[in-house]
Structure 1
Amino acid sequence: MRSELFSAENLEKESAQPGMRLQNSKMLKIRLNGEAMARVGSMVAYQGHVQFQALGSGGLGKFLKQKLTGEGVPLMKLTGQGDVFLADFAKDVHVIDLEPGDALSINGSSVLAFDPTLQYDIRMVGGTGMAASGLFNCIFTGYGRIAITTKGAPVVLSVDAPTYVDPQAIVCWSANLQTGYHRAEQFGLGTLLGRRTGEAFTMSFAGQGFVVVQPSEEPPVAGSGQQEQSGGLGSLFS
C-alpha cells in the first residue's frame, strides 16, 4: 500500500527515554513508565498497559476552589507502561521545562498534561481584585515538564517594558511578574453614542519575564460552572 500518509513525518516518533515529547505540532506523546497527569478527555490513542483514573480538579481543596472560581484543570492520572497520545481539538502543543524556583501562571483551559513532580494551585491574580470580579489562574511550580496548548502559533513577549495584553488572548506568563488591569478604551462622546473599540480593558504586566499570547480570543462564557472550557480569564473583562 502506498500513500503520502505513510511518509516519515506522520509515523510515530520513537523515544527511548520515558516522558513527554511532541509527536507533531498538534499531538503530544508520553512514553509512560509510572505516572503522568493529563487533561480529561485528551487521550486520542495509546499502546501498552495503561490505566486511566479521573481525579476531578486534583483533590478536595482544588475541587472547592474550582467550584468557587471557575478556574482549574479537570484531570486524569495515567498509570502503567506504554505510549499515550494526547491532543485537544487540534490546538498547537508546546512543552515547557520547569526548574526549581520557576513558577508559571496559566489558564486551566491551556493545560494538556504535566509530570506528577509538578505542583499546582488556584490563586487570585495580583492587581486585579474586585475591579475584575476576581481573576484566578493556575500556578505551577516544581521540577518537571508541562504541555500547554494554544489556538494557533503564539507570540512570546519579553516583558522588558510595560506590556498590555487582551485578557482573552493570554495563555500564560511568568508568575513573578507584577500584574494589573488597565482601561484601554477612553471614555468620550463616541462611547456615549455606543461606539466601542472592543478593547475596553487589558491586563498589564511589569517586571522581568515573559507573556505568551495566542492569535485567538477565548469567547466569554457566562456562569462559573462553564468557565473550565474557556479558562479563568475568558469571561472577566466582557
Structure 2
Amino acid sequence: MKNFNKASTSIKNWAIDDRPREKLLLKGAISLSDSELLAILINNGSKERSAVDLAKEVLQLGDNNLNELGKLTLKDLQKVKGIGEAKAITIAAALELGRRRHGALVLNKPVVKSSREIAAYLQTIIKDYNYEVFAVLFLNQANKINHFEIISKGGITGTVADPRIILKKALEENATSLVLCHNHPSGNLRPSRADEELTYKIKEAAKFFDIKIIDHIIVSEDGYYSFADEGIL
C-alpha cells in the first residue's frame, strides 16, 4: 500500500512563489491561476492531496470553464473527494459574488435605456439555472431599477408566475413599471404560447394599478428575446 506523507502534500512546504496566498500577497490576485484562486477558497487539502490538487479536480467538473463551474450544484461539487459541504458552500458563494459583481455593472446605471442593457444583466444572473426561473425588475417613474427578484422557479420546460404575487411586490416597491423576464435552459429564445398568454395576463392586471409592463425578456446563453423589440407586448 502506498504510504502518503501528509507533509509532502501540504502547501506550507512549497516554495513561497508556489503558495497561493503568499503568491497573491507578493504579486497580486491577477497573477494566480483559476485553480490557485480556488485553492484559497478551499483553504486546506485532504490527507492525500493539496488544496490546489482539489481545486484542479473541481475545475475539471466544469470542463475547466468558470461559466460551466457556476452551473454546478452543491452536490455536484461534493463529488470531488475532499470537498465537503462547507467547502462546496464557500465555492458556491464565491461564484455567486462574481455573478452579482458582473450584474451590478448594469444595475448601477441610473436609468434603464434599452432591452440590451437589461438582457446583459439577466444573462449574468439567471442564465446558469438548468431549469426555468421567472424574475421581475421593479422600476420607478424615472425607469431606475428599485429591485430585482426571482418570483418563481420551475422545471426544465417551464415555470408559473402568479400575477398577484408580482403586483403585490410591485406595490411594496412603489414600482410604476415592470420588466418581466425568464430564462430558456434549452437555448431556444422564441416565446411559447404560454409565455405570451402569461405576459398578456400580467399586463392587463397591472393596468388596474397604473403599472406598466415595459418588456418581457427571455434569456439564454445564446442571447435574448425582447417582447417590446419584437412589437408583441
Q: Which has the larger radius of gyration?
A: 2
TM-score by length of 1: 0.25
TM-score by length of 2: 0.25
Q: Which of 1 and 2 has higher RCO (CA within 8 Å, sep 6+)?
A: 1
Structure with greater strand share of residues: 1
Structure with greater helix share of residues: 2
